[in-house]
Chain A
Amino acid sequence: MKSATPNTRPDGERRKFLERAGAAAMLLSLAPGVRLVELVLARAEDQPVSAQMRWGLLVDATKCSEGCTDCVDACNDEHGLTGLGRPETDAQYIRKVGLRDKTTGKTHSLPVLCQHCETAPCVDVCPTGASFRRADGIVLVDKHICIGCRYCMMACPFKARSFIHEDLTDQVPESPRGKGTVEGCNFCVHRVDRDREPACVEACTEARHGALVFGDMGNANSALSQKLRELTNRQIRSDLGLNTGVRYHGI
């Protein structure tokens, strides 16, 4: 019995060592997606956004009901979008769109917003670099350098951007907006940077519709990635090959 002890103890230690070595090897072997270690914790406040993430959104059109505007209302409230009663030019970041199959008569209702394309046409055409794609995939307008030429509005296949024609007052602190600049959905970047979901997603979830799932497409374990694997989904205008960050299920 006594001789068994020295034999078992080194074995136990060797096993532990091997387990650790194996875990370390696993971390290293995942070279292309080495985000495992550094992104276990959310990004620190003073660290820049990382290209290892890609924010995305899945719209489940089967759960999106006609006439419901919870996401649109939440967006308008979050960004202080108050219309002037001029639908042609009033700002909209997200809008509800109705689709109808001409043959079967089947209808769908779904929200359309900036699709946060990987190869965004608005970024391509911007003459000043104001329209840009952040490292984590969010397409934004830097209004400080936007000259209001509206090329991006012409280039966008989704009519996702608006132009501010008139002087504004009473903007909200998190969403600066002013005359002469173009704007559009920014995935509520001020919330995302603080680990909160965009206002539309939060509203949809709180109202128990569950039609919007937001998350990191770059992380295979995120709720979004799991949902994207589970549900058949497509990009709108996929013929353009833009690799959009917004995907639709049920259309």
Chain B
Amino acid sequence: MRRRLAAVGLAFIMGAGWSISTPADIPLPAPPKAKGDRCVEPTDLMRRNHMEFLLHQRDETVHRGIRTKKHSLVECLTCHTQTDAAGHYIPINAPGQFCQDCHAYSGVKMDCFECHATKPRNSASVHSKSAAMSGTSPAHLSNLARVVGNRP
């Protein structure tokens, strides 16, 4: 009886083993296309090293106030977030979205979005912000003079 049970168990385990998918069966991630024509770095380099760029940029930004756009996480979001049928942004870490699609495939957990925004503000305020930040609005220029002061 015990031997028969063991045989059944063995057959079950082997059966389970056979049903495990091989890498070839798992579909490759197909992240949605970004808005820009090309990324800030070559795709191969980004795939392997995007975390290094982000890590470097985070220290430069937080500690030294350097806010160049090239490796900025906010800029990644701006380019890579998708909108749904109603025009609302879909969080970038939602299933099938740019970040999550690859991270699910490679089995790597992202910590970024426990704190960082997963989508741009809403579309209206994004536009007003970017106008102000581009330095073209008169309000921005007058603020500059007031904040920094006219130097001798």
A residues adjacent to B (C-beta < 8 A): 35-36, 39-40, 42-43, 45-49, 132, 134-136, 140, 142-144, 167-174, 176-179, 181, 189-190, 192-197, 202, 214-216, 219, 221-225
Known: A42-B144, A221-B151. 10 other contacts (CB 8 A): A39-B151, A40-B151, A43-B65, A45-B67, A132-B63, A140-B62, A167-B114, A173-B77, A178-B115, A197-B146
4 pairs of A and B residues whose beta carbons are closest in the complex: A222-B149, A178-B115, A48-B64, A49-B65
Partner of B67, one of A172, A176, A193, A219: A193
**Contact at B133–A222, with CB atoms within 8 Å?**
no
- Smallest distance from the beta carbon of A116 to chain B beta carbons, Å? 14
B63-A171 in contact (CB<8A): no
- Chain A: minimal CB distance from B55 (Å): 9
Stretch with Cβ within 8 A of A (4 or more), from B9-17, B18-26, B116-124: B116-124
A197 touches B143 (CB 8 A): yes
Of chain A, the residue at the smallest CB distance from B144 is: A195
A223→B146 contact, CB < 8 A = yes
Determine if B66 and A216 form an interchain contact, defined as CB atoms under 8 angstroms apart. Answer: no
Contact B147 A195 (CB under 8 A): yes
Known: A49-B64, A134-B63, A178-B115. A172 touches B148 (CB 8 A): no
Given the interface pairs A36-B151, A215-B147, A219-B148, the reply to whether A171 lies near B68 with Cβ below 8 Å is no
| Given contact pairs A36-B151, A178-B114, A193-B67, A215 touches B146 in the complex (Cβ within 8 A) | yes
Q: Does B103 contact A (CB under 8 A)?
A: no
Cα-based distance from A49 to B60 in the complex (angstroms): 10
B18 nearest CB across to chain A (Å)? 41
Quick check: is B128 within 8 A (CB to CB) of the other chain? no
The answer on a CB contact under 8 Å between A143 and B115 is: yes
Given A140-B62, A216-B149, A221-B152, also A194-B67 (CB < 8 A): yes
- Judge whether A225 and B115 touch: CB under 8 Å: no
Q: Which residues of B contact A194 (CB under 8 A)?
A: 67, 133, 135
Q: Is the CB of B114 within 8 A of A216?
A: no
Report B125-152 residues with CB < 8 Å from chain A CB. Answer: 132-133, 135, 140, 143-144, 146-152
Please judge, given known A-B contacts A197-B143, A221-B150, whether A176 and B65 are in contact too, CB under 8 Å: no
Binding site for A on B (CB under 8 A): 58, 60, 62-69, 74, 77, 114-118, 120-121, 132-133, 135, 140, 143-144, 146-152
Question: How far, in whole Å, are A181 and B114 apart by their CA atoms in the complex?
Answer: 11
Contact between chains at B146 and A176 (CB < 8 Å): no
With a cutoff of 8 Å between Cβ atoms, the chain A residues found around residue B114 in the complex are 167, 178-179
Nearest-neighbor residue (CB-CB) of A219 within chain B: B149
Which residues of B lie under 8 Å from residue A47 when comparing CB positions? 66
Q: Which single residue of chain A is at the shortest CB-CB distance from B133? A: A194
Residue of A nearest to B77 (CB): A173
Q: Are B132 and A196 in contact (CB under 8 A)?
A: yes
Interchain CB contact under 8 A, A46 and B66: yes
Q: Hey, which chain B residues are within 8 Å of A167, CB to CB?
A: 114
Knowing A49-B65, A194-B133 are in contact, say whether A173-B117 is a contact too (CB < 8 A): yes
Partner of A172, one of B65, B117, B132, B133: B117
Other-chain residue from B68, B74, B132, B151 in contact with A45 (beta carbon distance below 8 A) = B68
* Known contacts A173-B120, A174-B74, A223 near B65 by CB under 8 Å: no
